[in-house]
Amino acid sequence: MDFYYTTEEEKFRDELRQWLVDNLPEGWIEGKREIPQDNEGQSKFFRDWQRKLFDGGWSGISWPEEYGGRGATLIEEVIYEQEMARVQAPPQINVIGVAMVGPTLLQIGTEEQRERYVNKILNGEEIWCQGYSEPNSGSDLAALQTSAVKKGDKWIINGQKIWTSMAHLADRCFLLARTENTGKKHEGITAFLVDMHQEGVETRPIRSIDDQHIFNEVFLNDAVAYEADIVGEVNKGWKVSLTLLSHERTGVARQIFQLNQVFDELVEMASTLKKNGRPLIEDPIVRQNIGRLRAKSKGLLLNYYRNLTNSIRNGYPGPEGSMDKLGASELGQEIYSYALSLQGSVNTLWKENAAVTAEWQYEYLRSRAYTIEGGTSEIQRNIIAERILGLPKDIKY
Amino acid sequence: MDFYYTTEEEKFRDELRQWLVDNLPEGWIEGKREIPQDNEGQSKFFRDWQRKLFDGGWSGISWPEEYGGRGATLIEEVIYEQEMARVQAPPQINVIGVAMVGPTLLQIGTEEQRERYVNKILNGEEIWCQGYSEPNSGSDLAALQTSAVKKGDKWIINGQKIWTSMAHLADRCFLLARTENTGKKHEGITAFLVDMHQEGVETRPIRSIDDQHIFNEVFLNDAVAYEADIVGEVNKGWKVSLTLLSHERTGVARQIFQLNQVFDELVEMASTLKKNGRPLIEDPIVRQNIGRLRAKSKGLLLNYYRNLTNSIRNGYPGPEGSMDKLGASELGQEIYSYALSLQGSVNTLWKENAAVTAEWQYEYLRSRAYTIEGGTSEIQRNIIAERILGLPKDIKY
Amino acid sequence: MEFALNEEQQVFQRSTQQFLKSKGDLEIPREYSEGKEEVLDDLWIGLAELGYMGITVSESYGGLGMGPLTLVPILEEMGRAVIPGPYIETVAFAAPLIEKYGSAEQKEKYLEQLASGNRKFTVALLEGNGELSPTNINVLATQKDNEYVLDGEKILVSHADFADTLIVPVRTGNNEQDISLLIVDCDSSTLQMEKQISMDESRKMIKVSFNEVAVPKLQLLGDENTGWEILQDGIQGLNTAWCSNMVGGLDRIVEIATEYANTREQFGQPIGRFQAVKHKIVEMKMNLETARSLAYYAAWALENNTEDVVEAIAMARSLITESFIQSASDNIQVHGGMGFTWEFDCHLFLKRAKSLENYLGSPEDYREQVVSELVGNKESLILER
Amino acid sequence: MEFALNEEQQVFQRSTQQFLKSKGDLEIPREYSEGKEEVLDDLWIGLAELGYMGITVSESYGGLGMGPLTLVPILEEMGRAVIPGPYIETVAFAAPLIEKYGSAEQKEKYLEQLASGNRKFTVALLEGNGELSPTNINVLATQKDNEYVLDGEKILVSHADFADTLIVPVRTGNNEQDISLLIVDCDSSTLQMEKQISMDESRKMIKVSFNEVAVPKLQLLGDENTGWEILQDGIQGLNTAWCSNMVGGLDRIVEIATEYANTREQFGQPIGRFQAVKHKIVEMKMNLETARSLAYYAAWALENNTEDVVEAIAMARSLITESFIQSASDNIQVHGGMGFTWEFDCHLFLKRAKSLENYLGSPEDYREQVVSELVGNKESLILER
């Protein structure tokens, strides 16, 4: 049992850390983290950052070297997430392309697909989104109804996707559609690589409760894909989608690292804000809450390391990722909610009137989605019950 | 909206209060509440008390006057429970007889059954128990398998009951048995009045986690009942059992009143016990917990009064009783658990070595059953969801 | 013993509900927060027509002369629709305080107008970091002839732009509790107002700056330097009212969640069939009914000025605030992704709940108050007579 | 980076499990609490044969010279079977303290015997109301020639009847922290022992009275008046060990609950199919794994004497104690009526959990310690190097 990294891993970290110092926007590390709010400005900002990452060799580090990656180990990926969390680096706009679509194409794509897409994913030239959820298939993903019908050499796609992050900025979509109705919902699904810039694709923003626009509805109205856009086999798309998800190796890691940082900021805030003239951190009740959150945050982090150790030992990640996801999402809500509780009666002033920084209010609201997106807490609990504990499956109704 | 009682109700309370002062065992009200631990002594103690209640006219107060009751109103019953809770009166050993079997027989029993049983229920000459639960039918009560087969003028009963309170002291049992297998589990059940003192009935004690013996297993091995012992119609026993339960008008009331008293004792304890030389009640963290429990206890009590008001207005109790039950049982657990938490490292010393009084430890353990007996919390939640909120029923598998 | 709304109160409940429905129900806070501030004027006129502005004003000034209990059903309904506007500040704070502490002139000047809907009050209470304590009241009122001259800044003054009259605690002396209440007419003063952006856009928060604002001494509510004490009285009214308002919110949340769980299907079943969802809504229902009981009791205690009134209100306030936040959060979870959209109503309740969390004190503060009251006064008022 | 038991530790885990199974598993605490105290002797002999009594004793005294991490798997297994006996007090408290603070003579006298299973220690720590604080240590040790004469009373001395050696903090001066540790041989002293009936019958609690008990000065562990400090060191070991023990209990609870939920049927279905039950067990599992991670980390921190060792142990202790009580309670609920019977094993865990709740300090105390450490020392040891 140890928490030490090898000399090579440390070298990797140093290199990345130095690169971040040199390449993050000026003042970023010191806390001046401003991202343009308008679509265009935001798009440019994120694309520029994606390009910088690529140029520095820090995009898709787990990709094979021949495709522009570093063939990074799992531990290196973890270090990467730690360092990105540490400086609160901007999100990778093309995270879906880099973390999932690219590796999937490398694994099961055709030679043509690899040539056509992979490089542009890594350098951020083409931004990807993921077309999975639909209005009537959220938790029940396999119930999707968007249809793709073959007509000559084209597939004509009709239907609606929802919760498509970044669709408004994306160039292409990794989309699941139903190509056959066998009565078994996991069959007859096909994965397509769809051009977002065509007439049959319309994107409408979803305004979320934190007054942000990240998610979209995507309407497919006789949208077109071609035979060459099919990933894997026709009607075997469900398996492809699982392959894609399996490349999401460190998704929850950054969230967990960030939460531990946010906890530190919470302590900082409690040391600064006062009540009855006394710093909050001196209030015994506040201390109990902080102590409780500390044990939970640290426990979550340690759980992650334990699961990571297992993944490394076994060579593949187990279903324990659901425990990390469930724990991180619920703890995140708790921490942000408590952060607002501590701010007193001004706790819901936000934007330019925020009492501390508006991040607390934004993320408090944002955190409500933690337990919904990427599989609700209810679904995670079912996975943990069924796949880890071996409890009975919910009845297939 | 008011919490006042009418002059008559006040008179009723005064009368009862005075009677209790005159009739409770000496020193009882002052806190010397000792009940013999051995079967025989206990049985005598409880039967004596039952007799005293009867002689004073305080057994079965809601029964019609012609059968020895007072025809008490619902409010009077509530006052009765308040006063009994206030002095922590001994339990009525024949509570099942008095509160449920008697009224059921008065309502749907035959003339013979009324003559034969009713008076002896009230005066405590015959103690009753209730044979519902079985090893394989707990939450799923209607799945009961104990069978009664007609042979000449006899019904031969075979099977096993469990969780039969006071069966070891009881003379007769209100027992449900299956008399027909129609495939529909709520049909084919019949209610019998069974003699406990016959060869075919064997009672075995269940030792519970609080080292007490209240519950029993009852083995029915060719036990005999007669036609005259059937309540209602053959095969219509499920309806009879519901009739019986409907007479349980104030069951949860005493528990709620008691909890509010226990809360006061908790505050008393927190004012007496010290940590770091300071009474616990001065510790801000303790105060938060006490304040929280106070709001919950009072809320529970007020909810009860609100539901009571509805019952009086409507003339019958609604499904809200499930909310009272759920709330009372979970709060009870919380209060007793916290009471032990407050006692520090000696918190699990009990019996003659208890740090404060052993009641806390006994009831802490006893409270684990609150959320199981009389319908588990899970079942209560389903009732609330389905009958109050109108949410879908669990699938009938 | 009767613990329920009486018939009259039920009538109030129904007619408020009808009225608010006719005005758009949950569209009211939405339109208001999108900038259509005229909905507030419209609402106010309607409330006045129904006589609801005068509920707590005595009959001699054209009111109904009722107490906090009568407000309960009205406030619940307003909470159900997350209604904007300073109704609570006007009828549950200003009116009772002026009735109780106002001079004859003040009563004459304000109460009839208030009851007819022509005077809208709010309270300019908090300063600095928003903490409620006597030392945090530092708007200075300097005496000058027959006037006080006010300097300083109040924050989180809800709907100060809509109100025409403010009740303002000011500092009139050096001792901690040398605080006085002034009634400040907005039209006759030159106040600077600046919006403070809050998550809960249905309660518009304003920063009000006093820059040598002269207020006649006649506007003093109660005696000089007794303001803090009077304020405590007023805060009881505010808290009781907000409790019922929050209960309304809780009630609506349970209704919305139940409806959604009954209609939204996944895996071929309404999601309300899954115990994870079903039992979550049951928890919300349990919390709602406890909240309602405590809110009723608080109002009853306040109306009857019972011995345990302070405890009753503190209990209600601490428990209800937390339940409201919890249920509003759970409601979003029940709704899944749709609950996270601006389009669905779920967030209106969460934002309202969270914005009330520490208003006039945190749940911890109120629990502490419960215990302070309890340890001093352990008589149980309702268990026995 | 490797956060898991290593192979050697896994071997310890398996062999402890086999050994305890061969001795009766959960029958061990049952038989013991029904009065068959010889099971404890038998157990002890077995543990000594396996070399488990000497794990923390240095090799020169016949031990394995290992640290707290090696104890982890053994203690988890003991917790899984709610094993009675002062194993923790002996190997996680007495052995490390004597190794670190003992005189050459003391080491000679005790360590080899301890490692071979011939010396069983326990700690006679608490007095009065059971609070752990220097002012609550009042067994008086009066110097008389080369002896201390002890007067006073210790409570909750676990398994004092089985142990032959006590480590006893005594008062040797008037200043608050004038406390010294004495090693008291039971056979050479005349101690009065009286059983204290505890809900957790697997940890027999004894009141030990010292009535002019003479102890040679040579038996002083460490310097005079430094006992409180040494004790803190020992308590770290005790807490770390109990954490792993409780994790074992949690682990077994999850196993038992899962098994029952898979087999017990109601409404024609295994009850584990109902989400109310299913998700309750998931919560238990989540708590278990967090508990295990924190316990591992505490042991690692103690073994490596890291900067954050105090915080690490306090975190683990506060969270695990509460999780254990909660899961033990929930396990009864999952079992329904059967969980309430003496016959089923559920109550063994609940009673053990509740009896450890405040042992050496409450969860609140340990959370407070977490924050004290945190505010002083905010460096994160494991996030970055």
Whole-number pLDDT of residue D261: 98
Whole-number pLDDT of residue B251: 78
CA gap D171, D137 in Å, rounded: 6
Shortest alpha-carbon distance between residue D196 and chain B (Å): 6
Q: Which residue has the tokens 């917790």?
A: D79
Mutating which of B209, B288, B351, B379 best tests the D interface, going by the most D Cβ atoms within 10 A?
B209
CA gap D236, D71 in Å, rounded: 14
Chains touching A, CB cut-off 8 Å, 3+ pairs: B, C, D
B393/A contact by beta carbon, under 8 A: no
Do the Cβ atoms of A1 and D261 come within 8 Å?
no
Q: Which domains does chain A carry?
A: 7-123 (1.10.540.10), 128-235 (2.40.110.10), 245-388 (1.20.140.10)
pTM over 0.95? The answer is yes
Model pLDDT for residues A114-158, shown as the tens digit of each residue:
999 999 999 999 999 999 999 999 889 999 999 999 999 999 999
B396 falls in which pLDDT band (50, 70, 90)? low
Do the Cβ atoms of D1 and A308 come within 8 Å?
yes
Q: Considering only A108-117, A170-179, A312-321, B382-391, which range has the smallest mean pLDDT? A: A312-321
Whole-number pLDDT of residue A396: 59
CA gap B307, B321 in Å, rounded: 8
> What residues in C contact A343, CB-CB < 8 Å?
358
Residue C257's SS3 state is helix
3-state SS string for chain D: CECCCCHHHHHHHHHHHHHHHHCCCCHHHHHHHCCCCHHHHHHHHHHHHCCHHHCCCCHHHCCCCCCHHHHHHHHHHHHHCCCCCCHHHHHHHHHHHHHHHCCHHHHHHHHHHHHCCCCCEEECCECCCCCCCHHHCCCEEEEECCEEEEEEEEEEEECCCCCCEEEEEEECCCCCCCEEEEEEECCCCCCEEEEECECCCCCCEEEEEEEEEEEEHHHEECCCCCHHHHHHHHHHHHHHHHHHHHHHHHHHHHHHHHHHHHHCEECCEEHHHCHHHHHHHHHHHHHHHHHHHHHHHHHHHHHCCCCCHHHHHHHHHHHHHHHHHHHHHHHHHHHHHHHHECCCCHHHHHHHHHHHCCCCCCHHHHHHHHHHHHHHCCCCCCCCC
B395: nearest CA in chain A? Answer: A397
Q: Name which of A318, A316, A331, A330 is nearest A377 in CA terms.
A: A330
Contact present, C213 and C150 (Cβ < 8 Å): yes
Half-sphere exposure of D154 (CA within 13 A, CB side): 29
Do the Cβ atoms of B287 and C371 come within 8 Å?
yes
Whole-number pLDDT of residue B395: 67
Model pLDDT for residues A23-32, shown as the tens digit of each residue:
999 999 998 8
Q: Per-residue pLDDT averaged across D287-301, rounded?
A: 98
Whole-number pLDDT of residue C74: 98
In order, the DSSP letters of A117-160 are IIHHHHTTSS-EEEE--BTTBSSSGGG---EEEEETTEEEEEEE
Shortest alpha-carbon distance between residue A5 and chain B (Å): 41
> What residues in D contact B272, CB-CB < 8 Å?
none
> Choosing from B187, B248, B265, B373, which is the catalytic residue?
B248
Q: Considering only B330-344, C261-275, C370-384, which range has the smallest mean pLDDT? A: C370-384
Q: What residue spans in chain C does CATH classification 1.20.140.10 cover? A: 228-374
> What residues in B contact A286, CB-CB < 8 Å?
none
Paired residues of A135 in beta bridges: none
Whole-number pLDDT of residue D364: 97
C385 falls in which pLDDT band (50, 70, 90)? very low
A340 falls in which pLDDT band (50, 70, 90)? very high
Half-sphere exposure of C171 (CA within 13 A, CB side): 19
Q: Which residue has the tokens 């079977």?
A: D81
> What residues in D contact B351, CB-CB < 8 Å?
197
C378 falls in which pLDDT band (50, 70, 90)? very low
Q: Per-residue pLDDT averaged across B358-373, rounded?
A: 97
Catalogue the active-site residues of A. Answer: 248
Amino acid letter for position D278 = K
CA gap D229, D223 in Å, rounded: 10
- State the CB neighbour count (10 A cutoff) for residue B120: 17
Residue A303's SS3 state is helix
Alpha carbon C371 to its chain's center = 24
CA gap C123, C168 in Å, rounded: 6
Half-sphere exposure of D34 (CA within 13 A, CB side): 8
Whole-number pLDDT of residue D149: 96
**pLDDT greater than 60 at residue C382:** no
Whole-number pLDDT of residue D385: 34
How far the first Cα of chain D sits from its last, in Å, is 11
Q: Per-residue pLDDT averaged across C297-318, rounded?
A: 97
Do the Cβ atoms of C332 and A368 come within 8 Å?
yes
Model pLDDT for residues D20-35, shown as the tens digit of each residue:
999 999 999 999 999 9
A341/C contact by beta carbon, under 8 A: yes
B392/A contact by beta carbon, under 8 A: no
Contact present, C66 and C55 (Cβ < 8 Å): yes
Which residues have a Cβ under 8 Å from the Cβ of B247 and sit 6 or more positions away?
B99, B100, B103, B104, B107
Q: Name which of D298, D321, D318, D319 is nearest D308 in CA terms.
A: D298
> What residues in D contact A382, CB-CB < 8 Å?
275, 278
Q: Which residue has the tokens 């007579």?
A: C385
Cα–Cα–Cα angle for A83, A87, A93, rounded to 5 degrees = 85
Q: Which residue has the tokens 């005598």?
A: B44
**ipTM exceeding 0.90?**
yes
Mutating which of A215, A276, A345 best tests the C interface, going by the most C Cβ atoms within 10 A?
A345
A258 falls in which pLDDT band (50, 70, 90)? very high
Whole-number pLDDT of residue C187: 77
Whole-number pLDDT of residue A191: 97
Q: Per-residue pLDDT averaged across D1-9, rounded?
A: 94
Chains touching C, CB cut-off 8 Å, 3+ pairs: A, B, D
Residue A390's SS3 state is coil
Contact present, A236 and A61 (Cβ < 8 Å): no
Over the range C68-84, which residues count as b (16 or more CB within 10 Å of their CB) and which as e?
bbbbbbbbbbbbbbbbb
CA gap D8, D6 in Å, rounded: 6
Whole-number pLDDT of residue A250: 79
Q: Could you please state the CATH topology (level 3) that the domain comprising C228-374 is classified under.
A: Butyryl-CoA Dehydrogenase, subunit A; domain 3 (1.20.140)
- State the CB neighbour count (10 A cutoff) for residue B27: 10
Which residues have a Cβ under 8 Å from the Cβ of B53 and sit 6 or more positions away?
B59, B92, B124
What's the mean pLDDT when you consider all of chain D? Answer: 95
> What residues in A contact C358, CB-CB < 8 Å?
341, 343-345, 347
Q: Name which of A53, A195, A41 is nearest A123 in CA terms.
A: A53
Model pLDDT for residues A274-325, shown as the tens digit of each residue:
999 999 999 999 999 999 999 999 999 999 999 999 999 988 888 999 999 9
In order, the DSSP letters of C195-233 are EE-BS-TTS-EEEEEEEEEEEEGGGEESSTT-HHHHHHH
Alpha carbon B253 to its chain's center = 10
Q: Which residue has the tokens 């077995």?
A: D46
Model pLDDT for residues B311-323, shown as the tens digit of each residue:
999 888 889 999 9
CA gap A188, A194 in Å, rounded: 18
- Chain D positions contacting chain C at CB under 8 Å are 274-276, 279
Amino acid letter for position B318 = G
Mutating which of A285, A292, A341, A393 best tests the B interface, going by the most B Cβ atoms within 10 A?
A285
Model pLDDT for residues B137-190, shown as the tens digit of each residue:
988 999 999 999 999 999 999 999 999 999 999 999 999 999 999 889 999 999
Contact present, B103 and B62 (Cβ < 8 Å): yes
Whole-number pLDDT of residue D382: 40
Q: Per-residue pLDDT averaged across D114-135, rounded?
A: 96
Whole-number pLDDT of residue D378: 43
Token digits for C84?
């904007």
B397: nearest CA in chain A? Answer: A395
Q: What residue spans in chain C does CATH classification 1.10.540.10 cover? A: 7-119
Radius of gyration for chain D, computed over Cα atoms and rounded to the nearest angstrom = 21
Q: Considering only A107-116, B24-33, C236-245, D137-146, which range has the smallest mean pLDDT? A: B24-33
Q: How do beta strands B154-161 and B172-178 pair?
A: unpaired
Do the Cβ atoms of D198 and B133 come within 8 Å?
no
Alpha carbon A117 to its chain's center = 21
Mutating which of B276, B285, B286, B292 best tests the A interface, going by the most A Cβ atoms within 10 A?
B285
Q: What residue spans in chain C does CATH classification 2.40.110.10 cover? A: 123-225
Residue C362's SS3 state is coil
CA gap B21, B25 in Å, rounded: 9
Q: Name which of D381, D360, D365 is nearest D131 in CA terms.
A: D360
What's the mean pLDDT when you consider all of chain A? Answer: 94
Q: Could you please state the CATH topology (level 3) that the domain comprising C123-225 is classified under.
A: Butyryl-CoA Dehydrogenase, subunit A; domain 2 (2.40.110)
- State the CB neighbour count (10 A cutoff) for residue A18: 10
Q: Which CATH class is domain D7-119?
A: mainly alpha
Contact present, C129 and C158 (Cβ < 8 Å): no
Q: Name which of A107, A99, A102 is nearest A120 in CA terms.
A: A102
> What residues in D contact C333, CB-CB < 8 Å?
none
Model pLDDT for residues C124-182, shown as the tens digit of each residue:
999 999 999 999 999 999 999 999 999 999 999 999 999 999 999 999 999 999 999 99
Do the Cβ atoms of A346 and C129 come within 8 Å?
yes
Half-sphere exposure of C135 (CA within 13 A, CB side): 3
Provide the sign of the torsion angle of the four alpha carbons C21, C24, C27, C29, taken in this order.
Answer: negative
Contact present, A336 and A364 (Cβ < 8 Å): yes
